[in-house]
Structure 1
Amino acid sequence: MLAVFEKAIANPPKELGLPFGGSGNRKTKEEFAVYFGSDQPDSTCYKFCNGDFMALSHKDESATCPRSIVVMDDIFCIFNGYLRNVCDLRRHYGLSRQATEAMVVVEAYKVLRDRAPYPADQVIKELDGKFSFILFDAKATHLFLARDRDGSAQLHWGVTSDGCLVCSDDAKIVREGCGNRYTPFPPGCFFTTEEGLISFDHPFNKVQGVVREDDGGYGSAVIFQVDLFTRLHSIPRRGSDANWTGVIVVEGDYE
């Protein structure tokens, strides 16, 4: 799976864009789309009016971590992995037995967005399994990413040469397009357009990038982790009113 979003929708943490050992071979958002389409021609791509896109391919898919995608009410969700408690969640959200994990995540997001009096960390805590997902609400232009607390399902993120956020379960894709400005998405965390990066086990503690140094004392990578000594202010509520961005569905080659 792959998603690329401009800074106005997904403003990445500043530590993610720190340069190490030169800029590397970085791509623009448009070059990412061409690269992914040529490397995985069987993929399905959802392109938005501003050039952002989400793409899914089943190439090299793990049997224990399958990928799926669903589009419901202008909400696009790519889900990687599985939920052990999917049956309980279907009943909780009033969904049918045929509802997939991706559908459950979309419904959980809709409840959170429209009606729930509790913050996003409470919703993610209810998901028990091996998972990572990328969700985009096209009407509200709102991005929502998450990864399970054990980091069992892969999710990596980075920054393109034109400042866009890249997310994928394939480290090779992110590394080849973002140079050295990429790192694993931190386990047990979620990222949203308005709240930024938050730990769902420690929602009131800051999650910050820590620079790792090599044997020579030079910075070589950034790892995000919870700072238990730094408290955040209360997490703001978000509304659901925004303008529709539009979407084009493209099968196969989308250069």
Structure 2
Amino acid sequence: MLAVFGKMIANPPVELSLPFKGSGDLKTREEIASIFGLDQPDSTWYKFCNGDFMALSNQDEYATCPRSVVIDNIFCIFNGYLRNTCDLRRRYGLSRQATEAMVVVEAYKVLRDRAPYPADQVIKELDGKFSFVLYDAKAAKLFLARDRDGSAQLHWGVLADGSLVCSDDPKIVRKGCGDRYTPFPPGCLFKSEEGLISFDHPLNKVRGVVREDDEGFSTAVIFQVDLFTRLYSIPRSGSDANWSGITVVEGEN
């Protein structure tokens, strides 16, 4: 999977944009889309009017259990599996045919429509090995998460214009972002209006720790929970809407 969102929507952590030594040739969003399209020609693309997009290879997707879903202008790409899907279907009033991606969308709608509601409590309910990228096109909000063990791949970085890149394939992210990429931290969620949060330690700050070489040049950044720094509060948000147009394209980059 591949997702690219501009700074106005994604608002990526500043540590991802640090000028690392040997960062390489940063690509544009058009260039990384071309790279993904050549590597995964059989893909479904969701293209938004502001130039942002999401893409998913159809190679490993089964018609009976799709990894992507679009519900009420909410786009979700899910990677991995949930052990407690049946329990979550009952909790959210979904049918037995509801996939993991549908469950995630319903969980997000609880956060959006029943605020204030802590996002960490919702993600804690997901038991499994998973990562996902969700975009609410109507509210122009981005939502990412990865399981506690980091069993499901998810990497993120920034392009030449500062756009955020997310993918389960680190090779794709590295080709687009050079060294300005890192694994998405396990046990964490990211919401564009709230930033990076640990869903096991929601009251502790998640910091970007910059690694330096012997000459003092930054070489990489790793995000981890700072158990010694507590947040005063967790910001809440409403359900403000800002419509964006969408185009869904099958098998095109």
Quote the Cα distance in structure 2 between the aligned partners of 1:158 and 1:15.
10
Shift of 1:41: 1.1
Deviation at 1:137, TM superposition (A): 0.3
Per-residue CA deviation, residues 37-79 of structure 1 (Å, 9 max, x unaligned), is: 22211011000000000000044x599xx97100000000000
**Is 2:92 aligned against 1:96?**
no
TM-score by length of 2: 0.94
| Aligned residue number for residue 162 of structure 2 | 163
Residue 207 of structure 1 corresponds to 206
* 186-195 vs 113-122, greater mean Cα deviation: 113-122
Contact 1:158-1:181 within 8 A present in 2 as well: yes
Q: Which runs of 5+ in 1 are unaligned?
A: none
TM-score by length of 1: 0.94
Residue number in structure 1 paired with 2:43: 43
The residue that corresponds to 1:28 in the other structure is 28
> Offset at 1:174?
0.1
1:192–1:217 CA distance, 2 compared to 1 (3 A):
same
Share of identical aligned residues, percent? Answer: 79
In structure 2, the residue matched to 1:242 is: 241
Task: Name the structure 1 match of 2:181.
Answer: 182
Aligned residues between the structures: 251
Deviation of 1:214 after TM superposition, in Å, equals 4.4
Give secondary structure in 2 for the equivalent of 1:19: coil
Q: Which moved more, 1:223-232 or 1:135-144?
A: 223-232
Superposed displacement of residue 216, structure 1: 6.3
CA shift digits 1:183-230 (9 cap, x unpaired): 000000000011000100111111011122446664321100001111
| Structure 2 equivalent of residue 225 of structure 1 | 224
For residue 34 of structure 1, report the CA deviation from its aligned partner. Answer: 2.0
Q: How does 1:9-88 map to 2 (within 5 A)?
A: 9-59=9-59, 61=60, 68-88=67-87
Q: Indicate whether 1:192 and 2:178 are aligned.
A: no
1:206 counterpart letter in structure 2: K
- Alpha-carbon separation, structure 1, partners of 2:200 and 2:44: 34
1:116 deviates by 5.2
Amino acid at match of 1:43: S
User: 2:184 is matched by which residue type in structure 1?
Assistant: F
Q: Deviations over 1:91-141 (max 9, x none)?
A: 000000000000000001001110254310000000000000000000000
Separation in 1, partners of 2:190, 2:164: 11
Unmatched tracts of structure 2, length 5 or more: none
Distance 1:62 1:139, change over 3 A: closer
Letter in 1 for 2:222: I
Instruction: Report how far residue 13 of structure 1 moved.
Output: 0.7
CA contact under 8 A between 1:67 and 1:80: conserved in structure 2? Answer: no
Is the contact made by 2:44 and 2:250 (CA closer than 8 Å) also made in structure 1?
A: yes
Aligned 8 A contact 2:61 2:67 in 1: no
Does residue 153 of the first structure (1) align with residue 152 of the second (2)?
yes
Contact 2:66 2:99 in 1 (8 A): no
Separation in 2, partners of 1:247, 1:153: 28
Q: Distance in 1 between matches of 2:96 and 2:115?
A: 23
Does the 8 Å contact 2:28/2:159 carry over to 1?
yes
- Measured in 2, the distance between the counterparts of 1:110 and 1:185 equals 23
